[in-house]
Amino acid sequence: MSATATPRAEQDRRFMQLALHVAKRILGQTAPNPAVGAVIADETTGEVIARGWTQVSGRPHAEAHALAMADGRGHGKTMYVTLEPCSYHGRTYSRVGKKLPCAEAILAAGLRRVVVATEDPNPEIAGNGIAVLRGAGVAVDIGVCRDEARWLAAGHILRMTAHRPFVQLKIAVSGDGLIAPGEGAPVWVTGPDVRAYAHILRAHADAVMVGRRTVEDDDPDLTCRLPGLANRSPRRVILDSSFRLPPTLKMFQTVHRVPVILFGTEGHKPPKYPTGVETRTVAPAADGRLDLQAVLKSLADDGVTRVLVEAGPTIAAAFVEADLADEVVIGRGTEILGPSGRKPFVDHGLELLDDKSRWHCITDRKLSGDRLTVYRRTNRFGSTPSP
């Protein structure tokens, strides 16, 4: 925060950081809705009265949850919310016992001021939630921690504006920045803490995606196996343009536990997979490969807002080339692979991410003996580093 920030601006920012924090914990659980956080506070005393967040599967909304937690103590107070409150009688109204849209619920609770991090691009809302509040005389300030809130709601924003989910690439590299060649089981180039972090990324996604070669090399499970988070495994998506993968692989055999969707190109017929494995075809792109935009649109149509791509070199290069990667998470070990390693983007190594016009680094830190580095696509939303 700049030294010239007023005490009120500083306080707004602190409460909004708290709202962002509570929302982050439920990433991966609210689709097709965004994970939103709301804090009700007393600006005079600095007391936090209630915290709320979007509930599992997207309802109740964060504001409704915070108001319920405040239990009448929000009157005359301020709400900090990471996304514009909704204003239309959508699912919330029609299915869940005539609940009010959030903007109206805020009015009914008598809040005096609402601080909103960013507008909701949902065309049914798009400024109307703010207009409803202001129209009733509530003071509304917009834009506190906007960049961070936009990255947090990236899946929702992109689904609304670009008909695709947010795409996060995860790549594990050796000390010399290379990928280990697989031999039927995953080859670990990073230690247990980076691997545990990768499982958290799975829990925070609505779908986890891999290409055919990763499945052939590693026969992975792709589930979240962290203690306490085992039920947070997102659906598994495999790109296999000509349906060459055999039905005996681990992922197909465990489809009863976590769903599997297999994407191929039109004209290819899948073999008989175990019941429950879903196959979909999309038209090929101009180069004959799977059209990634079409794959992402198909997932967005299902309500998927966040995809974690556990990318081998071919897929990583394809997403970056098509400008469909929003964030790249690199876990880097210490082992030197030398000539046996492969470049993480086929023809390019990690230097690809040094292009400042396209990528900026938001995190670069040690994690046990390894390194964790996160890049975001420049100009996609904003450039504020993570708190």
**Of the two residues 13 and 59, which places its CB atom closer to ligand AOF in the complex?**
59
**Pick from Zn ion, ligand AOF, none: which does 120 bind, CB < 5 to 8 A by kind?**
ligand AOF
**Of the two residues 103 and 282, which places its CB atom closer to Zn ion in the complex?**
103
**Pick from Zn ion, ligand AOF, none: which does 122 bind, CB < 5 to 8 A by kind?**
ligand AOF
Which parts of the chain fold into alpha helices (H)?
A: 7-24, 62-70, 91-95, 102-109, 128-135, 146-152, 154-162, 192-203, 212-218, 250-253, 292-301, 313-321
Q: What does the alpha-carbon distance between residue 345 and residue 148 come to, in Å, rounded to a whole number?
A: 28
Residue 9, burial from CB neighbour count under 10 angstroms (0-12, 13-18, 19+): middle
Name which of 93, 91, 94, 95 is nearest 104 in CA terms. Answer: 93
Total number of residues that touch Zn ion (CB under 5 A): 3
**Of the two residues 133 and 318, which places its CB atom closer to ligand AOF in the complex?**
133
Q: Which of 63, 84, 119, 310 is catalytic?
A: 63
Min CB(306)–Zn ion separation in Å: 20
**Pick from ligand AOF, Zn ion, none: which does 125 bind, CB < 5 to 8 A by kind?**
ligand AOF
Q: Within 222-261, which residues bind Zn ion (CB under 5 A)?
A: none
Q: Report which residue type is found at 54.
A: T
**Pick from ligand AOF, Zn ion, none: which does 353 bind, CB < 5 to 8 A by kind?**
none
The answer to whether residue 330 forms part of the interface with Zn ion (CB under 5 A) is: no
Selected binder of Zn ion within 16, 23, 102, 109 (CB under 5 A): 102
Q: Token pair of 261, please?
A: 């969707």
Min CB(301)–ligand AOF separation in Å: 14
Give the length of the chain: 387
Stretch that binds Zn ion, among 82-90, 131-139, 181-189, 292-300 (CB under 5 A): 82-90
Q: What does the alpha-carbon distance between residue 351 and residue 348 come to, in Å, rounded to a whole number?
A: 7
**Of the two residues 59 and 280, which places its CB atom closer to ligand AOF in the complex?**
59
Min CB(371)–Zn ion separation in Å: 40
Task: State which H helix or E strand residue 223 sits in.
Answer: none
Min CB(67)–Zn ion separation in Å: 11
What are the residues binding ligand AOF (CB under 6 A)?
Answer: 33-34, 36, 54, 58-59, 61-63, 83, 85-86, 90-92, 102, 120, 122, 125
**Of the two residues 133 and 209, which places its CB atom closer to ligand AOF in the complex?**
133
Catalytic, 335? Answer no
Token pair 């670009």 in the structure block, residue: 162
Gyration radius of the chain's alpha carbons: 22
Residues 6+ apart with CB under 8 A from 383: 147, 360, 376
Q: What is the largest CA-CA distance in the chain?
A: 67
Contact 373/330 with Cβ under 8 angstroms? yes
Min CB(115)–ligand AOF separation in Å: 14
Residues 6+ apart with CB under 8 A from 318: 289, 292
**Pick from Zn ion, ligand AOF, none: which does 331 bind, CB < 5 to 8 A by kind?**
none
**Of the two residues 51 and 61, which places its CB atom closer to Zn ion in the complex?**
61
**Pick from ligand AOF, Zn ion, none: which does 59 bind, CB < 5 to 8 A by kind?**
ligand AOF
- Distances in Å between the Cα of 238 and the Cα atoms of 25, 210, 271, 310 are 26, 5, 15, 10
In the complex, which residues of this chain contact Zn ion (CB under 5 A)? 61, 86, 102
Which active-site residues does the annotation give? 63
